Structure 1
Amino acid sequence: MPTAQTETRRSTAKRAAAPDAIKLLKDDHAQVEDWFDDFEKTNSASKKGKLAKQICTALKVHTQIEEEIFYPACREAGIEQDMMDEADVEHDGAKKLIAEIEAGKPGDDHWDAKVTVLGEMIRHHVKEEEQRDGMFAKAKKADIDLDVLGQQMAARKQELMKRANGGAKN
């Protein structure tokens, strides 16, 4: 049975291994974009269904950690209200489309189109966050401890992914 000291060492090692907040978010972006590319390339209904499930789960978790941890830190650091508000609205639109995708299945009317449009929305959102004068660049310049934020976000992401996968390890 692990001791409290062993658990503390494991916890410290996990924190040390966590990427900074922006790297974590960019890694999520790249993964989801790859899945959207795979979705567009396949004709297999079962593969489309599996990819859509992965995409939707990843995006729900990603938006939640941004909204709970990253965006509030950006707002507190003084990143423009308009930029932050636009990101919130983009998240809301994505969440509505995700709910429609999850309520359907491959072969349903407009189901493929919904996944494709979600991909377009997400690519637009990612471009805005990652561009030279975007939110990530502003966060790097602001007084935000991106390492601590990354640790918090990684821990929350792990918790949410575990819950999304029915308690199973991801």
Structure 2
Amino acid sequence: MSATLAYVDAVDLLDADHKLVQKLFLDYQALCDNGAAPEAKQRLALKICGDLGVHTQIEEEIFYPEVRAAIRDDVLMDEALEEHAEAKAAIAQIQAMPPTDAAYDGTVQQLFATVMDHVMDEREQVFLKARYSTADLRGLAPRLYARKKELQSGKPAPMPAGKKKVAS
């Protein structure tokens, strides 16, 4: 599988997700600027929320535990999990709101700001430390990709025994 994987390593895969979600947020802003129907904006917002949900889950289940063990910086990794919690709260809020709610666009834009702050922190700190650590980033990429596909299929397999989420 790794021979056909389009990503160099785990950081490359996760950063590709970051770039995709940034594009989706910009597409959402374009819908707002063009006066798109609330339903069209909601479809895109829910796609963003779904993509972010999958991304945060694979980071929390696979990437963060490996990086935490390799870099031994619990404060940094706990901070990343706190940022995920903020994003998840905004995602839940968006998913529960009708698209006609006056606060809908602002809530999506707030999620965008939260996510982009997290992305910058992750790129400048977590990813950088991971690259200079003993973490097997190449070996993590196929695992992240496989789990991502499972989650996207809507029929996620449970995490294998011995793999546990890191508590925040």
Please report the TM-score for the alignment, with normalisation by the length of structure 2.
Answer: 0.85
Is it true that 1:152 corresponds to 2:147 in the alignment? no
SS of structure 2 residue aligned to 1:163:
coil
1:26 maps to 2:15: yes
Any stretches of 5+ residues in structure 2 without a counterpart? Answer: 157-168
Q: Which residue of 2 aligns with 1:111?
A: 104
Secondary structure of the corresponding residue to residue 101 of structure 2: coil
Q: Distance in 1 between matches of 2:117 and 2:130?
A: 19
Partner of 1:5: none
Q: Return the offset for 1:112.
A: 1.1
1:84 paired residue number = 77
Show structure 1 runs of 4+ deviating over 6 A: none
Q: Compare CA radii of gyration and give the structure with the larger one.
A: 1
Structure 1 residue 136 and structure 2 residue 127: aligned? Answer: yes
The one-letter code of the counterpart of 2:45 is A
1:40 and 2:29 correspond: yes
Residue number in structure 2 paired with 1:10: none
Tell me how far 1:17 sits from its aligned partner. Answer: 2.2
Letter of the 2:94 partner, please give it.
I
Match of 1:54 in 2: 47
Shift of 1:41: 1.5
- Relative distance call for 1:53 and 1:164 in structure 2 (3 A) is farther
TM-score (normalizing by structure 1) = 0.84
The aligned counterpart of 2:4 is 17
Aligned to 1:123: 116
Equivalent residues of 2:97, 2:104 under 8 A apart: yes
Over the aligned positions, Cα root-mean-square deviation in angstroms equals: 1.5
Q: 1:93 aligns with which of 86, 91, 114?
A: 86
* Counterpart code for 1:16: A
Residues 82-128 of structure 1, C-alpha deviations (whole Å, 9 max, x = no match): 11111000101111110110111321131111100000000000001
Contact 2:71–2:129, Cα closer than 8 Å, also in 1:
no
Q: CA deviation at 1:140?
A: 0.5
CA contact (8 A) 1:104 1:111 kept: yes
Paired letter, 2:16 = D
Contact 1:79/1:138 (CA < 8 Å) preserved in 2?
no
Deviations 1:11-37 (A, max 9, x none): xxx332222100110000000000111
Number of aligned residue pairs: give it.
150
Letter in 1 for 2:4: A
Distance in 2, Cα, partners of 1:83 & 1:126: 13
Conservation of the 8 A alpha-carbon contact between 2:71 and 2:130: no
Q: Aligned-pair distance for 1:46?
A: 2.8
